[in-house]
Amino acid sequence: MVHVSATPVLALRGVSKRFGAVQALTEVELEVHAGEVVALVGDNGAGKSTLVKTIAGVHPIDEGVIEWDGKPVSINKPHDAQGLGVATVYQDLALCDNLDVVGNLYLGRELLHRGVIDEVTMEKNARELLSTLSIRIPSVRIPIASLSGGQRQVVAIARALIGDPKIVILDEPTAALGVEQTAQVLDLVERLRERDLGVILISHNMADVKAVADTVAVLRLGKNNGSFPVKDTTHEEIIAAITGATDNAVTRRAGRTTEAAK
C-alpha cells in the first residue's frame, strides 16, 4: 500500500515555534512522502493546528528547516505554501453558499475565455475532477447551500485539488459528519493517495485514522511522541502515545523483562 519514495515531498526538521512565553512546537520532525497519508494526532493543545499552520504559511517557523523535495525552503506567507503545492482544507470549509459547485471550485481562479468566465470548460473540468474522485453530487450546478455536510466537505477537498497541489492538509475533515458521509470523505482520502498526493490528516477519531492512514505521527505538548506505521500498531498504543501513558509501571516492567530475556 505504501510505496515510500526516497526523498519525502515535505519534511520538517527540528521545527520550533514560540508564541510569546508559550513554546507551541519543540523540535518537531515530520515527513510526508508522495502517496502517503500521515495522520497527525494528539490531544487538544498538542500543537497539531500550529504545526499545520506553519506548513500552510500562516505562522512562520522560529527554528528548524522545512524541506521540499529534499531542498530547504522558507514558507512565510500562505502564498509561499500554495506556490510550493500545499493545499489546506480548514475545518470551517469557507465555501460560498450562494455559488454553485463549479463556482466554488474555481473561486478566485476562474478560467477565462476572451476575458469572460469560461463556464463550459470550468464545468467540464469540474465534472471530470469530481468523477475521478468518485464524488457523488447531483449536479455541479447546484448551490452549495443545498448540499449535505459531507458533500460540502468533499467539495472543499476537491477545491483544494484544482491548483494541482502535492500535499493536501485536511483539518478534522470528518469531525462534523455522520457515518455514511464520513465513509465518503475517507474514500476520498484514499483516492488522493492513489493520485500520489501526500496527505496530512488531522483527526481525533482513531477509527478514521486506522482506516486510511499509513503513518500516525503523534504530537504531545508540542513535541513528537512517536511515529507509528498504522499496520503494526494497535489502537491502544496510539492512545497511549497521545495521552502520554506509555511511561508507566507496566511499560517499565515490560521493558525490564525484555531486557532480561536478552
Partner 1 sequence: MSDSSKTVKKDPSQETVAPSDDPTAAPVTVVDPRLLIREEGLKGYLTEFKRKVKGGELGSLPVFVGLIVIWTIFQLQNDRFLSADNLSNISYYLSATGMLAIGLVFVLLLGEIDLSVGSVSGLASTLFAVFVVDHGVNSWLALLLTVVTGIGIGALHGWFFARIGVPAFVVTLAGFLGWNGLMLWLLGESGTINIPDEGPVHLFGQSSFFMDQAVIGAYLLAGLGVASMLAGSLIEQRRRRAAGVPFRPTSEIALRVGALAVATFVAAYVLNSSAGVSNALVIFLASLVIVDFVLRRTPYGRKIFAVGGGIEAARRAGINVSMIRITVFAIAGGFAAVGGMFFAGQTQSATLNAGGGNTLMLAIAAAVIGGTSLFGGRGTVWSALLGMLVIQSIQTGLDLLNMNTSIQYMITGAVLLGAVVIDSVSRRSQKAAGRA
Closer CB to partner 1, 34 or 185, in the complex: 185
Q: Is residue 16 within 8 Å of residue 223, measured between CB atoms?
A: no
Q: Is residue 129 within 8 Å of residue 106, measured between CB atoms?
A: no
Question: Residue 144 Cβ, how far from partner 1 at the closest point, in Å?
Answer: 8
Whole-angstrom CA distances from 51 to 11, 22, 81, 217 are 12, 14, 13, 12
Closer CB to partner 1, 20 or 108, in the complex: 108
Question: Residue 84 Cβ, how far from partner 1 at the closest point, in Å?
Answer: 16
Question: Residue 126 Cβ, how far from partner 1 at the closest point, in Å?
Answer: 9
Closer CB to partner 1, 136 or 235, in the complex: 136
User: Going by C-beta distance under 8 Å and a sequence separation of 6 or more, which residues neighbour residue 192?
Assistant: 37, 157, 161, 168, 199
Closer CB to partner 1, 41 or 137, in the complex: 137
Nearest-CA neighbor of 135 among 190, 192, 188? 188
Calpha distance 91→48 (Å, rounded): 13
Nearest-CA neighbor of 148 among 206, 93, 205, 90? 93
Question: Residue 187 Cβ, how far from partner 1 at the closest point, in Å?
Answer: 12
Question: Residue 136 Cβ, how far from partner 1 at the closest point, in Å?
Answer: 5
In what order do the strands lie in the sheet containing 10-19?
Answer: 22-32, 10-19, 63-68, 71-73
Closer CB to partner 1, 105 or 238, in the complex: 105
Give the interface with partner 1 as residue ranges (CB under 8 A).
Answer: 90, 92-99, 103-104, 107-110, 112, 115-117, 120-121, 123-124, 127, 130-131, 134, 136-139, 141, 143, 145-146, 148, 178
